[in-house]
Structure 1
Amino acid sequence: MRTVTNYYLFNLSVSDLLLLIIGLPQETYFTWHAYPYPFGETFCRLRFLAAESSCYVSILTITAFTVERYMAICHPIKCPTKTGLSRPIRVILTVWVVSVAAAIPVGLQFGIQYYKWRGQTLPGSETCDTYDPKKAATVFQVGQT
């Protein structure tokens, strides 16, 4: 079972599992208890960083796998079949590094926010949200280009 395909599929499953373990419990919790946010600033940012990274890893892994299959089918002379497993491992590591680097600007836009009413901060109103929605949209658009 040590094939190139299995390496890519294992990487895809790890990425999806990361999103499932970090993202789903918090989303379920916030469906029922929106205020206050109990996990702190670090976990708030980590949650969005992991979610973005996981999405990018999934997309880039499928893209890398597709390119690999394209080269094997359309250009078999340029892409020998017995190249070993070092290339997919390097591709997978590159996918993770690029994904985390691309997700950092999005993750930094989130933090603990407090609702204000008549100029005063409401106690118990902590929520994990973007600092500035307009700035976050700009960072997201610039980061994706």
Structure 2
Amino acid sequence: MTNNCSFAAVDELMKQLELAIYIPIFIIGLVSNVGALAVFCYVLPKWTETTIYMTSLALLDLLLLFLLPFKMHATNHMWPPHLQTLCSILECLYFFGIYGSIYTIMSISVDRWMAICHPFKAKQRRSRRKALGISVAVWALVSVVTSTTTSSFRQSTGHTSIHCFHSFSPRGWRPVVIVCVEVLGFLGPAVVVVFCSVRTIRALQRSEQRSAQGRACIRYVYSSLCAFLLPLTPSHLAILLQFLVHQGVIEKCGSQAAISLFLQLALCLSNVTCCLDALCYYFITAEVKSSRLSSTFAIHRRTACSSSEL
């Protein structure tokens, strides 16, 4: 990466933009996710596979929201060197929250596709115990991967102050790390989510029964797909572009400054997923309160199964 380029103007602009973005996300996300947990635990008549996944997703969103005040402070302040361990832990938790959410949304998409498009297999393979086991497995897997990967993002600075959540070490931009982040962290789950969502929507649209529950289910699929793609696609594209900068492929200072601004802005906006997930919570709650989610799936299993086999 070219050392002669100055990004002072970009950093100064982001100091203002990050606060303007994070504060509304923190307030809206905190209210919606705490409310969602209260509804899942005390209002809905029974736990289902989907509400278990949604509870896991809400907890991951709350973890991200918990870290936003630290990110807001780190935006405008350098941290003393003795806080480097704390900074590394917070960065690890941040990436754990992001990629834990990605894999949880992927699990929800697969579970929904199985229930609607393959109802007979779903009766044997879906259960609340399995949903809980998958959620725990996602947490365990992502925690191991993020803890081992994030350790390479920051190197010891000795007595120098650190800029937490910024200025990762060159080791964090190694090809093997970026390939894992892009392919395993986003592209792979994105392909699964898009495939399952498209097949589910087509099955429901071909269904002869256009009930209110069916329309609500389609809206829920669309909302969860948007909550996944809209915040996360730009941020991972920006990571790829910044990787090209570190590899010397992009050398012009103007391009590097634009990519730096795009990266920081996209990473900020990716946190809006904590608020967009509230759309999914709303449709899940509406479905379960009207006829229970399992009954909603059962309504469409017969018609969706026959239509998907055409």
TM band (smaller chain): 0.7 to 0.9
Cα 1:61–1:131 change in 2 (3 A) is closer
Aligned to 1:140: 177
Cα 1:5–1:81 change in 2 (3 A) is farther
Cα displacement (A) at 1:45: 1.0
Letter paired with 2:161: E
TM-score (normalizing by structure 1): 0.78
Cα 1:88–1:3 change in 2 (3 A) is same
| 4+ residue segments displaced more than 6 Å | none
Higher strand share: 1
Aligned to 1:29: 73
Is this contact kept in 2: 1:19–1:51, CA < 8 A? Answer: yes
Is this contact kept in 1: 2:95–2:146, CA < 8 A? Answer: yes
1:49 equivalent to 2:84? Answer no
Cα displacement (A) at 1:57: 0.8
Aligned to 1:126: 161
Aligned to 1:117: none
Give the match's secondary structure for 1:30.
helix
**For residues 93-108 of structure 1, what are the structure 2 equivalents within 5 Å?**
93-108=136-151
Is this contact kept in 1: 2:150–2:172, CA < 8 A? Answer: no
Separation in 2, partners of 1:30, 1:54: 18
Is this contact kept in 2: 1:57–1:96, CA < 8 A? Answer: yes
Aligned length: 133
RMSD of equivalent CA atoms: 2.4
Separation in 2, partners of 1:62, 1:50: 18
Letter paired with 2:172: A
Aligned to 1:15: 60
Cα displacement (A) at 1:31: 2.5
What CA deviation, in whole Å up to 9, does each residue of 1:20-72 have, x standing for no partner? 11x21111112332x24376122111111101111111000000010001011
Separation in 2, partners of 1:9, 1:62: 9
Aligned to 2:17: none
Is this contact kept in 2: 1:102–1:143, CA < 8 A? Answer: no
Aligned to 1:120: none
What CA deviation, in whole Å up to 9, does each residue of 1:98-128 have, x standing for no partner? 11122123320225536xxxxxxxx7x4113
Separation in 2, partners of 1:72, 1:104: 34
Is this contact kept in 1: 2:81–2:157, CA < 8 A? Answer: no
Is this contact kept in 2: 1:12–1:61, CA < 8 A? Answer: yes
Is this contact kept in 2: 1:44–1:112, CA < 8 A? Answer: no
Cα displacement (A) at 1:83: 4.7
For structure 2, which runs of at least 5 residues remain unmatched after alignment? 1-43, 185-310
TM-score (normalizing by structure 2): 0.39
Cα displacement (A) at 1:82: 9.2
